[in-house]
A and B are shown apart, each in its own frame.
Chain A
């Protein structure tokens, strides 16, 4: 019983008060929903599915390494050769971040692109949906363009996705910190 009393003291709850415990839980719910609000606001402002993405492969080395984070924003103007863009191939879930190598206008007035990773020797045609004859990507396949980068911060996300129990550890850590914050 003494141990429980000590625990409650350090959380600022000398007697166990249900209303106080409830307030703390509301605090946590507020924190988490605020984080969600920030993330979705970023998605609206940058007009992308992922305003911040983590680099997963080495195909854009030495500029970007696995674990770097990249900032993405969509734009109404046409993309240009030289832009680094985030795009998806129909049927494949993981987005790719490569540089635009070629851009043409078709006879139907559509703009088509060919992409290539800086660290790859060949362009991305082999990655496209060649079974369905896809030789180019279009603006609709592009989620946005990279305008800024930051190293290392994404390693955290990679660790979490590779070892799911880390996710629980992180959430538990946040909960514990909030309970012990005494505000």
Chain B
């Protein structure tokens, strides 16, 4: 049996694609094992700036402090960390509500040591209704590890609670 050029190309492509496939798989899985860091996070609610009602929805504005050193979270497969602070609360007979107060994209290890003082909301924190008076709200710091390839992971560390007043500000 003679080996024509086309047969060689066919075999070559087959081996190339299979090998690349295996390498890609190994690459993605390695990201899972490089993932054991517990960075130091300190999240602190500072002050309620505003609390009122608008268009049938309660809304509030807060200030918080954040110290989060996420530098150990970077490895060769990490493209960015999407960090976000959520405010969550539970309304009896209604259920859980959660919303992002502030978020940020960390693109490199150099930028990964976050220090925020008296930081205000980036997004409106409004309720689905007017249930927020005298309601306890918990702030949590989270980050989404986003790689050049492979599995996305979400982690959380650091929390701080406050209670909204019984009357609007």
Contact = CB atoms under 8 A, between A and B. Distances in A.
8 contacts: A62-B105, A82-B144, A99-B82, A101-B100, A105-B96, A107-B94, A118-B82, A177-B10
A180 B152 contact: no
Contacts of A102: 97-100
B168 interface: no
A146 B152 contact: yes
A167 interface: no
A180 B7 contact: yes
Interface size class of chain A, counting residues whose CB lies under 8 Å from the partner chain: 20 to 34
Contacts of B53: none
Contacts of A182: 1, 7
A123 to B, nearest CB: 7
A177 B100 CA distance: 52
A81 B86 contact: yes
Interface size class of chain B, counting residues whose CB lies under 8 Å from the partner chain: 35 or more
Nearest to B154: A82
A109 B98 contact: no
Contacts of A148: 28, 149-152
A83 to B, nearest CB: 8
Given A62-B105, A118-B105, A180 B147 contact: no
A129 B10 CA distance: 50
A3 B37 CA distance: 66
B16 interface: no
A81 B148 contact: no
Given A82-B142, A181-B7, A104 B128 contact: yes
B105 A147 contact: no
Contact of A151 (B94, B99, B149): B149
A149 interface: yes
Contact of B97 (A105, A118, A149): A105
Contacts of B79: 62-63
Given A82-B144, A148-B149, 7 more contacts: A10-B6, A81-B100, A101-B123, A147-B151, A148-B151, A151-B148, A181-B7
